[in-house]
Amino acid sequence: MVRMKKHLQIAHAGLLGTFLLIASGSAKAQSDYDIYVLDVKTGVTRRVTSIPNAGEYNASWSNNGKKIAHDVVGPIASPYGQTIYVTDVGTGVSKPLVGAEGGNDAAWSPDGTTIAFDSYYFYPQSIFTVPAGGGARNLLRYNSHHASWSPTGSKIAFDDNYGYIGTKDVVTGAETFVTWYGDRPAWSPNGQYIAFDGFSWIGGGVWIVKVDTLGNPVGLPVQLTTSGYGPTWKNNSHELVYIDWPNGDPDLYSISVSGGVPQRVAGRKGGFDQGDFDPAYSNNGQYIAWSSFTPPVDSLSVSRNSVTAKAQVFAESTFQNFPNPFSGTTTITFNVPQASHVKVSIFDISGRQINMLADADYQPGSYQVQWDGRGQNGQSLANGVYICQLKTNNGLQVKKIMMAK
């Protein structure tokens, strides 16, 4: 989230966190993040998801390009707060994928019949599959996440939550080792490469490694960029699109597999808390889907006083943490627009409260609290996604926080 979850880091130049704002008091609450699609040929960008009280992240295209599977984070994704939805790109109709409750990082199989996903509530995080139309889930690979299908659909690439990237045959269960110190593998459409994020201590950025038909590495990994994360392949297997932030605003960039100077592809105005994330190329190479910030003010009822409404929403929206993901301590900032009792709480992905960072009366102003990734009694917690909740007299806001120590 969550992924990011929809879907900057000290220890690992990989996952960028995302967050969810529940705009209390509005007639139709609008998520912070929605899925947008760029038509590469025309340059036209349009929003294709807009689920009330939810954030949408980590798009994955169906084989025919008509649908997108993606994460949905928020109360609508009860009981786990996160699940997989499928959206019809043409109509914008979004439906939950039965069997993928609690799921994250959907990956649609090349033949369009199956969707792989991670499950946070199954500990440790593991990869499951479910029919594309919904149904019973099947455990595909224990202790792993970020599934990426080979072009034949016979294998998946994965990382095992500790930086080990491998492949698994979905029929025989046979596995191959690809590399250490990587995350978010992406198998090229021609089957000849696996791209991945490099951990910061090997240089970070986007890497590729050549593989044979069995998924074994052929030679050493090659570093293409020194920053950025989340590579996705164009259908020609000669170009990668990924997220980078050379000017402090995460946008979509492209680079050739032979290297060279990265080129900005798309992105909407924002900062680290309102950037563009999780790119996904369609199979025909014409479209790129990604998760982008939608200003909460877009959802305000026209019957409300616009000046008062904007002031209230933007005051409440300054609820964020930095860095995210974090490896030591993260600082959570929030505004209190009017005198209120404030609670800042941390929950695990199953909804269990594990820490209370603030519980007091606050006067109007800006405030900060810090979280060191520990529980209420000082106990160490496992790496993964956590939910930070801000509760005031005006309502609730929640956001995803990624810990990666």
Query: Which pLDDT score, from 0 to 100, does residue 50 have?
Result: 86
Amino acid, single-letter form, for residue 63: N
Residue 119 lies in a domain: yes
Query: Which pLDDT score, from 0 to 100, does residue 318 have?
Result: 59
Q: Kindly give the parts of the chain with pLDDT less than 70.
A: 1-31, 120-123, 201, 296-318
Say if residue 245 is in the same domain as residue 364.
no
Residue 182 lies in a domain: yes
Query: Which pLDDT score, from 0 to 100, does residue 31 have?
Result: 52
Say if residue 194 is in the same domain as residue 82.
yes
Say if residue 287 is in the same domain as residue 311.
no
Say if residue 62 is in the same domain as residue 120.
yes
Strands 222-223 and 239-244 turn out to be: unpaired
Query: Which pLDDT score, from 0 to 100, does residue 240 have?
Result: 98
SS (H, E, C) 242-274: EEECCCCCCEEEEEECCEEEEEEEECCCCCCCC
Check which CATH number belongs to the domain holding 395 and give it. 2.60.40.4070
Query: Which pLDDT score, from 0 to 100, does residue 137 have?
Result: 96
Strand partners, 359: 343
Query: Which pLDDT score, from 0 to 100, does residue 340 have?
Result: 84
> For the stretch 290-308, what's the b/e string if a residue is b when 16 or more beta carbons lie within 10 angstroms of its beta carbon?
bbbbbbbbebbeeeeeeee
Nearest-angstrom CA–CA distance, 249 and 87: 27
CA atoms within 13 A of residue 259's CA, in its CB half-sphere: 5
Say if residue 123 is in the same domain as residue 76.
yes
Query: Which pLDDT score, from 0 to 100, does residue 341 have?
Result: 87
Residue 175 lies in a domain: yes
Say if residue 293 is in the same domain as residue 309.
no
The answer to whether residues 267 and 277 touch, using CB atoms and an 8 Å cutoff, is: no
Residue 12 lies in a domain: no
* Among 85, 109, 281, 287, CA closest to 195: 281
Last residue of a domain, one of 269, 297, 325: 297
Residue 6 lies in a domain: no
The residue segments making up the domain with residue 133 are 19-297
Last residue of a domain, one of 250, 281, 297: 297
- With left for phi above 0 and alpha for psi between -120 and 50, is residue 190 left, alpha or beta? alpha
Nearest-angstrom CA–CA distance, 262 and 163: 25
Say if residue 342 is in the same domain as residue 277.
no
Q: How many folded domains does the chain comprise?
A: 2
Say if residue 53 is in the same domain as residue 147.
yes
Nearest-angstrom CA–CA distance, 349 and 336: 26
Residue 191 lies in a domain: yes
Query: Which pLDDT score, from 0 to 100, does residue 296 have?
Result: 59
Residue 9 lies in a domain: no
Say if residue 146 is in the same domain as residue 79.
yes
Question: Before 264, cis peptide (omega within 30)?
Answer: no
Check which CATH number belongs to the domain holding 63 and give it. 2.120.10.30
Say if residue 245 is in the same domain as residue 174.
yes
> For the stretch 6-22, what's the b/e string if a residue is b when 16 or more beta carbons lie within 10 angstroms of its beta carbon?
bbbbebbbbbbbbbbbb
Query: Which pLDDT score, from 0 to 100, does residue 315 have?
Result: 38
Distances (CA, A) of 252 to 9, 116, 146, 156: 18, 24, 19, 25
Burial class for 314, CB neighbours closer than 10 Å (0-12, 13-18, 19+): middle
Nearest-angstrom CA–CA distance, 17 and 8: 8
* Among 319, 318, 321, 344, CA closest to 331: 321
Residue 10 lies in a domain: no
Say if residue 293 is in the same domain as residue 321.
no
Say if residue 71 is in the same domain as residue 220.
yes
Strands 33-39 and 239-244 turn out to be: unpaired
Query: Which pLDDT score, from 0 to 100, does residue 288 have?
Result: 97
Strands 287-293 and 33-39 turn out to be: antiparallel
Cβ-based neighbour number of residue 275 at 10 Å: 23
Last residue of a domain, one of 275, 297, 319: 297
Cβ-based neighbour number of residue 142 at 10 Å: 11
